[in-house]
Amino acid sequence: MTPTPPPDPRRWKALAVTLTAGFMSLLDVSIVNVALPSIQKGIGGEAGTAQWVVSGYALTFGLVLVSGGRLGDALGRRKMFLIALAAFVSMSAFAGAAPTGDVLVVARLLQGCAAGLLTPQNSGLIQDLFHGDERGKAFGAFGSVVGISTAVGPVLGGVILALFGEDNGWRWVFYVNVPIGALAFVLALRLLPRAEGRPARLRSEIDFLGVLLLGLAVLCVLLPLVESEQDGVRRLWWLFPVAVAFGLGFVRWERHVVRHDRPPLMDIRLFTETPGYSPGAAIGAVYFCGFTGIWLVFAMFFQLGLGYTPLESGLAVTPFAVGSAVSSAAAGRLVGRWGRRLTVTGLSLVAAGLGAVALLAWLAHGPHLGVVVALPLLVGGIGGGMVISPNTTLTLECVPTSTAGVAGGALQTGQRIGTAIGTAVLASVFRAMLSGSGNDFPSALSVSMVCAVGFILVALTLGIAELRARRARATSDQLLNATTAAPYE
């Protein structure tokens, strides 16, 4: 029996570096929302161009996640991390210096590609560097980064605009990544382990047809959603059945590749034979529909409805970020003992917190609603921290380390699709309620929160089903062990 190699003594420092880079890439999903009016004022352009500054990043981010994970598995996560981080920092500087809206959109598209290559290396490195209870703690830190980066984006965006002014403050939303990313790059050179991956050639290791089919499928899903501000779902609805066709073609092709003993982009057995992976991925995707969709709604409500500044709007949702930060770290330590019960409890708290926000928005009209909803948002944030990191740990716990990058990339692709769906649905509901109620902002917020709770309850149902399935698997394993041991007792 091969002894387990000793853990890397620098693993926690390496994790801190990779999570810093991951925080930047995920933060850029939400931080730019608050700067959109400043961007449009500073460099002009149509509203559609400004929207693509946000949507384009999300689109290319989601497109390359699985391919980025596969490249990390095949060529080495350290190498891919350094390449992607260098590209992300460069594109951040390019975006900050953009002279026109069109150039800024191109920079954001390229920045999203770099982020999509970077992010899967985090989960893959955790699988490589940590084992046992330590892996749960590491994923707890990773979950904190995912949750906090999404929730704190509006706050940091508001702070940067307040410090540097609305005319050019939006440029510093991008420039701030440069010194942080450069420092992370230098530290990653020193701390990330070199002995990873295996010598490989792109032509033999990367399934290019699989990359194309999966990329087209994801593109056909995301494009109508990121264009929802410009009536994209109604204009581009036909892309959804096209996405199904490309998805089925991808599945058939990957099975063909496996039958011929060639390395697939994503082995479909990851979903069919890996215990807990499919339900965990589904829980994450549905949860992100409700969780990330609320931030744009809150920004519109507080700034347009109550007249808050961008900074005040960001501070109003800070309780969610604080609750998520505290509970994520604790949940990472408890996931080994509590398992799926943590995510079920967390989803229940998120549903209760957002449900209370919906009720208070309906009953407590007035300019102080941001203070009134602070406690429910704190409760929701505590629940949210109990969802993301434990769900990531439990979803990936049975995944072999050789495919950890692809598994993490696929998991986060589902989360990006969930983000796009939730943002499109909740923002559309909010606007529809405003137009139908004569600009009754509290009612629009209330109904939008009810829709978010609906997504959370679907995720909760999936979580309860997976909790029961895990118990059934545990019972089955115990019976099998008892039967095997019986002749020797």
CB 293 within 8 A of CB 427: yes
Burial of 454 (0-12, 13-18, 19+ CB in 10 A): middle
Give the C-alpha separation, 71 to 87, whole Å.
15
Residue/partner pairs of 46-49 with CB below 8 Å, 24 or more apart: 46/101, 47/229, 48/229, 48/230, 49/101, 49/102, 49/105
Residue 217 reports pLDDT greater than 70: yes
Residue 378 reports pLDDT greater than 70: yes
Helix axes 47-75 and 404-437, enclosed angle (nearest 10): 160
Please list the alpha-helical segments (H only) found in 165-207: 169-175, 177-191, 202-205
For residue 279, the Cα-to-chain-centroid distance in whole angstroms is 17
Burial of 280 (0-12, 13-18, 19+ CB in 10 A): buried
CB 343 within 8 A of CB 394: yes
Structure tokens at 482: 């008892």
Instruction: Determine the number of helices (DSSP H) and then strands (DSSP E) in the chain.
Output: 22, 0
For residue 57, the Cα-to-chain-centroid distance in whole angstroms is 13
Question: What domains sit in the chain, N to C, each tagged with a CATH number?
Answer: 11-193+265-475 (1.20.1250.20), 207-264 (no CATH)
Percent of the chain having pLDDT more than 90?
23
- Closest residue by Cα to residue 148 from 17, 317, 11: 317
Give the C-alpha separation, 257 to 275, whole Å.
23
Please list the alpha-helical segments (H only) found in 192-339: 202-205, 208-226, 232-235, 239-259, 269-272, 277-291, 293-300, 310-316, 318-338
CB 43 within 8 A of CB 98: yes
Global pTM value: 0.81
Give the C-alpha separation, 411 to 486, whole Å.
40
Q: What backbone phi and psi angles, to 5 degrees, belong to 365? A: -70, 155
Look at the block and give the residue holding tokens 């994450």: 284
Sequential DSSP letters for 49-63: HHHHHHHHHHHHHHH
Q: What are 242-301's pLDDT values in tens digits?
A: 999 999 998 898 888 888 888 787 778 888 888 888 999 999 999 998 888 888 888 888
Percent of the chain having pLDDT more than 70?
90
Q: What are 82-118's pLDDT values in tens digits?
A: 999 999 999 999 999 988 888 998 999 999 999 989 9
Higher pLDDT, 55 or 446: 446
Mean pLDDT is highest, among 36-50, 133-147, 348-362, for: 348-362
What is each CA distance from 486 to 473, 482, 483, in whole angstroms?
A: 20, 6, 5
Q: Check residue 261 and give left, alpha or beta (phi > 0: left; psi -120 to 50: alpha).
A: left
DSSP state of 302: I
Q: What are 191-205's pLDDT values in tens digits?
A: 888 754 455 566 666
Q: What are 1-31's pLDDT values in tens digits?
A: 445 567 778 888 999 998 898 888 888 877 8
CB 424 within 8 A of CB 225: yes
Q: Quote the Cα angle for 161-163-165, to 5°.
A: 55
